[in-house]
Amino acid sequence: MFNLSSLLISFFLVTLFGYTSAHSADEWRTRIIYQIVTDRFAKDDGSTDQPCNPASNSYCGGTWKGIEKKLNYIEDLGFTAIWISPVDENIEGDPDNAGEAYHGYWNTNYEKLNKHFGTEDDLVNLINAAHKAGIWVMLDTVVNSMALVGPYDQIDYSKVSPFNGPQYFHPYCIIDWNKNNRTNIQDCWQNSGVLLADLNVESSSVKSYLNKHIKQAVNHLGYDGLRIDAVKMMNETFFPEFVDSAGVFAIGEVFDYDPNVMCDYMNYHLGVTNYVVRLGFNFSFMAHDQFAPTAGFKTLQDQMKLVTTGNCSKADLGGMLIFLDNHDLPRYASYTDDQAIILSAYSFALLWDGIPSVYYGQEQGFYGGTDPANREALWSSGYDQTNPYYTMIKTIVNFRKHVMEQDTKFTHDTYDIVDVDVNHVAAKKRDVFLLYNNLGIKDNGTVYKVPTQYNENEVVSDVFGHRTLTVGHGGNITATLTHGYPMVLYPHTKLSDFTMPTINQTVMPSTAREKTTTVYTSFYSPTYSTRSFAGSHSLITMSSSHRAIPSFETLFFAFVFTTLAFIFFC
C-alpha cells in the first residue's frame, strides 16, 4: 500500500525544491481568510459568461488556474489567506444520483489530484503566486472518510486508494444523529447520497499513512495551514500527531452548537470553527425575526459566556474561526433583504474575536439559501469591485489589519460587552469600540448613550460611517445610528496612515434589496449587478480603482457639512 520509492523521490524533491512555510497557530491569528469553493470561484480564462446553476449539483468549471488569475481581486479586498476546496481525486460522474463531487468532499484517492481543478503544476503555481501576494493557503482536508458508490451491499473497495479494503474502515453503521452518542458519531458512516466510509483512524496503518501523507503534501506543495473537514465525526485522539506531522496550524470543523464538544477539540492541537458564537451573531441581527423575537443581541452575550466559561474557560478565542457564512450554511443574506442588517452583520463578524473567514460572494451581495443554493458561481457577478458589499468588506478587512499592525495584543484580547439589549450592543476591545443595532434601514435615527474606553474630549473616528466625534463627559458618547448602520470607532490620531476608502453613510441604502422570485435566477443572469444594487440611492460612493481617498482631515470638514445628527455629550 505504501509506495516507498515515490515517497523517497518526494522527499528528495522536497529537499531540493521544497517550500516549508509552516505557519503556527500564533501566526494565523492575525490572518483574515477568504473561503473559496474552487469549482465556483473562477474559470481558467477568467470568463464570466458561462451559466452555473447551483441546483444542478454539477461541476461549473472553476479551477486553480482561475484562482491564480484572480488573486488580484482577493488581494485588493485585503485578505491575507485563502481557504480552498479539498484537492484530492473524487467520485467521478454521478453514479449515485447524488450530484457530482464539485465540492471536493467525496475523495477516492489520496495520491491523485482532482483533475477538474487542474494539474499539480496549476496547484503549485497558485500557491506560489499566493505567497508572492502575501496570501497564505489553507487546504481543506478530508481524513474522516472516503467516498464509495453505494448501496452498502454493492460497494467496491478497489475503487478507493490506498485504503482499498474493509480493514481500513470502521464497521458499517450509519450515524444516528438522534442518539447524540459520540461513539456512534465518530465511528459510524455517513450517507451523503454517496456512502462516506468512516476511516478507522485508530488503526496504526491508517494513522501512519495519513500522517506521512499530510506531512509530505505540506512540505511538497507549501500549504500554510489546514482546515480539517468533519472533525466532530472523528476520534479526537487522532489529531495531535496528525497536526504535528502537518507542521502547520489546523482549524477543525466542529459543526456543533455545544460548547463542551467544540472546546474539547481544542485540547488536541486544533483550532475550531466557532459555531457557538456564530449562533449568537445569527440571532443578534435578526431580533425582529419571528424565530427569536425577544433575545436579539442578548444571545451574543449568552453565547460569548458559553465560550469563555466552564469547559471553554481556557479556550483561545483568537485561535477559532469566526464567520457568518460558509458552504454548509444558508448565506446570512438569504434571511433578509434588509441591506443594513446584512452589511452590519458581515462587518461585525469581521471585527469580532477570532480569525475571520469571509465566504466568497459575500462581497457581491450573494444571497443563496440552503446548500446547494449557497454555492453560486462568483463569475456571475462579473467580479464587480465597486458595489457596497465589496467596499464595506474591503474597508473593514483593511481596518482590522491596521489595528492588528498597531496593536499586537488585539488578537489576544477579547471584547467586553459594555451595553446590550435586544436591539443594540456596544462592545470595546483595546482601542476599538463597536456600536451596532438590528433595526435595519427603517431605523431613522436612534440615540444611544454609552460608556466607552476613551478619554473625555478625545477625538474618535467612525470607520464604518466616515464620521468623527468628540468623546463626552466621563468617556461617554451619545450617538445616533441612522438606517441601522453601525459605528466602528477608533482613536482619530491612530488612523492617520489608514488610507482605505471608507463607507459614506450619507448615501447608505434606504431601500431593501430587490428580491427576484427564486433564489437562483439572479446568479446566472447577466444583469446581476444592476439588479442587486438598484434603488433610489447609490449605496456607497467610492471607486476601488482609485486608491486615493480624502484624508481624515478632509473628512472631518466634510462631516461638518453633513446632516448627520451627533449630539456631543458634555
Q: Tell the smallest beta-carbon distance from residue 567 to ligand NAG (Å).
A: 12
189 is in an annotated binding site: no
Is 375 known to sit in a ligand binding site? yes
* Closest distance of CB 282 from ligand NAG, Å: 4
How many residues belong to the chain?
Answer: 570
Angle, vertex CA 136, rays to CA 232 and CA 247, nearest 5: 55
466 belongs to the binding site for ligand NAG (CB under 6 A): yes
CB of 216 to ligand NAG, least distance (A): 23
Question: What is the smallest separation between the CB atom of 285 and ligand NAG, expressed in angstroms?
Answer: 9
CB atoms within 10 A of CB 27: 15
Applying CB under 6 A, does 181 fall inside the site for ligand NAG?
Answer: yes
Q: Note the helical H segments in 145-258.
A: 182-187, 204-221, 239-246
Q: Which of 89, 198, 253, 353 is catalytic?
A: 253
| Binds ligand NAG (CB under 6 A): choice among 186, 284, 380, 437 | 186
200 binds ligand NAG (CB under 6 A): no
Residues 6+ apart with CB under 8 A from 222: 18, 19, 20, 21, 124, 127, 128, 131, 137
Does residue 287 contact residue 423 with C-beta atoms inside 8 Å?
A: yes
Side chain identity at residue 68, one-letter code: E
Determine which residue in the list 165, 171, 240, 445 makes contact with ligand NAG, applying CB under 6 A.
445
**Site for ligand NAG contains 267 (CB under 6 A):** no
Own/partner pairs, 277-280, CB within 8 angstroms, 24+ separation: 277/303, 277/304, 277/307, 277/320, 277/322, 277/352, 277/353, 277/354, 278/322, 278/323, 278/324, 278/349, 279/303, 280/304
Residue 282 contacts ligand NAG per CB under 6 A: yes
Tell me, yes or no, if 229 is annotated catalytic: yes
Residue 286's region, left for phi above 0, alpha for psi from -120 to 50, else beta, is alpha
For residue 478, give the C-alpha cell.
451619545
Q: Does 299 engage in binding with ligand NAG (CB under 6 A)?
A: no
Radius of gyration of the chain (CA): 24
Task: State yes or no: residue 308 binds ligand NAG (CB under 6 A).
Answer: no
Rounded Cα distance between 249 and 321, Å, is 12
Pick from 174, 512, 558, 564 the residue near ligand NAG by CB under 6 A: 558
Of 85-93, 239-247, 402-410, 442-450, the window that binds ligand NAG (rule: CB under 6 A) is: 442-450
Using CB under 6 A as the binding rule, whether residue 75 contacts ligand NAG is answered as no
Task: Confirm whether 376 is a catalytic residue.
Answer: no
227 marked as binding residue: yes
Instruction: Determine whether the annotation assigns residue 106 to a binding site.
Output: yes
Total number of residues that touch ligand NAG (CB under 6 A): 32
Q: Which is nearer to ligand NAG, 12 or 257 (CB)?
A: 257
277, 287, 426, 555: residue in contact with ligand NAG (rule CB under 6 A): 555
Site string for ligand NAG, 484-513 (x = CB under 6 A): --------------------x-xx------
432 bridge partner residues: 429
DSSP string, 338-357: -HHHHHHHHHHHHHSSSEEE
Which residues of 81-134 form beta strands (DSSP E)? 81-84, 88-90, 107-113
For residue 128, the Cα-to-chain-centroid distance in whole angstroms is 22
Contact criterion met (CB below 8 Å) for 55 and 373: yes
User: Are the beta carbons of 167 and 157 closer than 8 angstroms?
Assistant: no
Q: Give bridge partners of residue 161 from the DSSP assignment.
A: 109
Judged by CB under 6 A, the stretch of 2-10, 30-38, 176-184, 318-326 that binds ligand NAG is 176-184
Is the backbone peptide bond immediately before 86 cis, with ω within 30 degrees of 0? no
**According to the binding rule CB under 6 A, does residue 202 interact with ligand NAG?**
yes
Dihedral sign for Cα 385, 514, 280, 488, please.
positive
Using the minimum distance from each CB to ligand NAG, give the nearer residue, 206 or 286. Answer: 286
In the complex with ligand NAG, the residue whose CB is nearer, 56 or 184, is 184
**Rounded least distance, CB 570 to ligand NAG, Å:** 10
Binds ligand NAG (CB under 6 A): choice among 291, 493, 530, 551: 291
Q: Is 311 in the site for ligand NAG (CB under 6 A)?
A: yes
Of the candidate residues 109, 128, 476, 544, the single one contacting ligand NAG (CB under 6 A): 476
- Residue 461's Cβ-side half-sphere holds a number of Cα atoms within 13 Å equal to 22
Set 140, 229, 363, 462: catalytic member: 229
241 binds ligand NAG (CB under 6 A): no
The window from 58-66, 149-157, 158-166, 285-293 that contacts ligand NAG (CB under 6 A) reads 285-293
Q: Which helix (H) or strand (E) holds 433?
A: strand 432-437
**Residue 183 binds ligand NAG (CB under 6 A):** yes
In b/e form, how buried is each residue of 414-448, taking b as 16+ CB within 10 angstroms? bbebbbbebbbbbbbbbbbbbbbbbbbbebeeeeb
Q: Residues at the annotated binding site for substrate? A: 106, 227, 328, 375
**Which chain residues interact with ligand NAG by CB under 6 A?**
181, 183-184, 186-187, 202, 235, 237, 260, 279, 282, 286, 289, 291, 310-311, 335, 444-445, 449, 451, 466, 473-474, 476, 504, 506-507, 541, 550, 555, 558
Q: Which residues are catalytic?
A: 229, 253
Q: Residues at the annotated binding site? A: 106, 227, 328, 375
